[in-house]
Structure 1
Amino acid sequence: MSSLLRAYNTALIRRPYVTGSASAAFLFGAGDVLAQQAIEKKGREHDLWRTGRIAFYGGAIFSPIVTRWYVMLEGIKIKSKPALLLTRVGLDQFALTPFMVGLFFTSLSVMEGKGIEGARDRVSKSWWSTLKMNWGVFIPVQLLNFALVPPHLRILLVNGVSLFWNTYLSYVNSTAQPVEDKVKELIE
């Protein structure tokens, strides 16, 4: 297992975009499989195209943007470590994340053939509640990530947590309902 992690670490350093994209595609796809099988109980009715679309989004859209974003955040230099941490987390969560949540719903809607109107509808129904839920998950994760994790491994931590987040996103996207409604359904 340690040799596998060493090889992955080397790949992240040598080819961060390719490695990050492959990891994100796999984890977004795995999140969708979990959503369809563990939550939606689709069994043999599994929508492979849906899994492919979300995996494509993760590998081709999400990962290149986030990998470049982390490089940009690493370039920010502030002498005070707490101020640097709060600046990086603040920019990540309050500048990039709102855009990425909208991009997720827009991209998936367009790939599903719903066009710009369908994307607008999905964003208007799900963006704000999904963003608030994201902050509840990722603000603590990113505080730990930027404080403790070496820069080249940050995307890995986010991708690891994202397996569960992607399961949730896939489920919310598939129903196009506000998050609060989906959480109530899951609890009841």
Structure 2
Amino acid sequence: MAALRRFLARRPWAVQALTAGALMGAGDVIAQQLVEQRGLRGHHSQRTLKMMAIGFCFVGPVVGGWYRILDRLIPGATKAVAVKKMVLDQGAFAPCFLGCFLAITGAVNGLSVEQNWAKIQQLCRAVWGGVVAGLLPPLMASTFPRTTWTLCSPTTVLAVVQCVAIVWNCYLSWKANRL
């Protein structure tokens, strides 16, 4: 156990990837059980595993890397810096990330390129409109590392964002897996 702790302490990207994978899986379980009300017998465990893999291989590394890039692009520790990061995050990164997430989910679910593109266009409008505009900007502005009003450290920011956004993960899983 001590060796694992040392490994993870030296590799925050691994913690971010593992956390994102676990919480994407949890969001899918919540989507299937509470939103879709599948019950244990109707639960699609393959879908949960796919969402965990997407979280581990895509969400964790990409979002964790993005936070490091933001720290380099917009250095400082003021409220203005946090707002600038939030605007860049939600205005530039989030739409690209959402499109990529939906494309990966569609590909993993076996959609053709044409089906995937149609689904991405449909879901981006639905997903981006309501939830993203209201929920994520205040959360992001309050969690950017190394700002005066931050709620978490640089190594835990993804975990905090993912924990608070588990409802978002549930919503994304539900929307992305509706075929």
TM-score surpassing 0.5?
A: yes
Within the alignment, does 1:95 sit opposite 2:92 as a pair? yes
Structure 2 counterpart of 1:108:
105
For structure 2, the residue ranges without an aligned partner over 5 or more in a row are none
* Number of positions where the alignment pairs a residue of Structure 1 with one of Structure 2: 169
Q: Tell me, what secondary structure is at the counterpart of 2:28?
A: helix
Structure 1 counterpart of 2:173:
170
Answer whether contact 1:26 1:55 (CA < 8 A) is retained: yes
User: What is the CA distance between 1:31 and its match in structure 2?
Assistant: 0.5
Larger mean Cα displacement after TM superposition, 55-64 or 149-158: 149-158
Q: Deviations over 1:59-105 (max 9, x none)?
A: 10111011111111112345682331121111111111001111111
Structure 2 counterpart of 1:183:
none
Of residues 117, 120, 125, the one that matches 1:123 is 120
Answer whether contact 2:13 2:60 (CA < 8 A) is retained: yes
Write the distance in 2 (CA, Å) between the matches of 1:13 and 1:127: 36
- Percent identical among aligned pairs is 28
Within the alignment, does 1:154 sit opposite 2:150 as a pair? no
User: What is the CA distance between 1:135 and its match in structure 2?
Assistant: 2.5
Amino acid in the other structure paired with 2:176: N
Structure 2 counterpart of 1:57:
54
Q: Deviations over 1:15-58 (max 9, x none)?
A: 11111111111100010011001111111111111111111111
- With normalisation by structure 1, the TM-score equals 0.82
Write the distance in 1 (CA, Å) between the matches of 2:52 and 2:8: 19
Amino acid in the other structure paired with 2:139: V
Structure 2 counterpart of 1:180:
none
Answer whether contact 2:82 2:142 (CA < 8 A) is retained: no
Structure 1 counterpart of 2:38:
42
- CA change 1:82–1:108 in 2 (3 A) is same
For structure 1, the residue ranges without an aligned partner over 5 or more in a row are 1-6, 177-188
- CA change 1:79–1:162 in 2 (3 A) is closer
Write the distance in 2 (CA, Å) between the matches of 1:67 and 1:120: 26
Q: Tell me, what secondary structure is at the counterpart of 1:129?
A: helix
Answer whether contact 1:20 1:67 (CA < 8 A) is retained: yes
Q: Tell me, what secondary structure is at the counterpart of 2:134?
A: helix
